[in-house]
Amino acid sequence: MGDRDLRVSDVEREHVGRLLQRAVGLGMLSLGEFTERMDTALAAKTRGELNAVLIDLPGIRLVGQPAPAPAAPRYLPPQPRYVSGPRMPVAMPGNVIRARMSSVRRHGVWHVPPSLRLNSLMGSVHLDFTEAVMSTQVVEIHVDDTCSSLELILPAEATVDLNAIDLMGSSVNTKVRSGPPIGPLHIVVHGSLRFSSVTAKHPFGTSWKRFLNGA
């Protein structure tokens, strides 16, 4: 049996998905070509089928090929742990949420760190802050999502800022008041979305409660 006939794993399919994303960013593939090749990669069962979506891309190491010899180490100066401006610290590994063709939900009573980093590939993340325990007034969320969705459920008094997101074939929809952090909770979302969506809204029935209370 040759290498082309060996079965592939989900890890190898995810690796090929990241290579295709990089090819889109470099202008090698159109959005339509990316979608077609991702479908082929997810359905691939052997290395031959998986490598077929990479074979014409220059500088791409095919699945099963040996890695090149590592380059000599070079000195890299320490990187700052804080983003520019008055933002919160960058999320550390314990504050990272990853979704790979999966669904992640945070709801009920859960402790929210000052910053979160979301990395989703063909997944969905649902974050409900209505009963969450907050450690800071402002929560920063850094997104790096591909073919995924993010839904934010916020209390009635909360505000949100979704203006610093880089979009590629994606959408942002908010039904929550934007502006400065004047209430008990302000969510700031920034980062990159590729063929993904972000939605910020209040729990179901919030507008009716405001109407009945004369707000």
Residue stretches of the chain with pLDDT short of 70: 1-2, 59-94, 205-215
Query: What per-residue confidence (pLDDT) applies to 84?
Result: 41
Q: Are 26 and 151 in contact (CB under 8 A)?
A: no
Query: What per-residue confidence (pLDDT) applies to 82?
Result: 42
Query: What per-residue confidence (pLDDT) applies to 189?
Result: 94
Q: What would the two tokens of residue 196 be?
A: 């993904």
Query: Taking the mean position of all CA atoms in its chain, how far away is CA 213?
Result: 37
Three-state SS string across 133-197, please?
EECCCEEEEEEEEECCEEEEECCCCCEEEEEEEEEECCEEEECCCECCCCCCCEEEEEEEEECCE
pTM of the model: 0.56
In tens, the pLDDT along 99-152 reads 888 899 999 999 999 899 999 998 899 999 999 998 888 999 999 999 999 999
Query: What per-residue confidence (pLDDT) applies to 11?
Result: 83
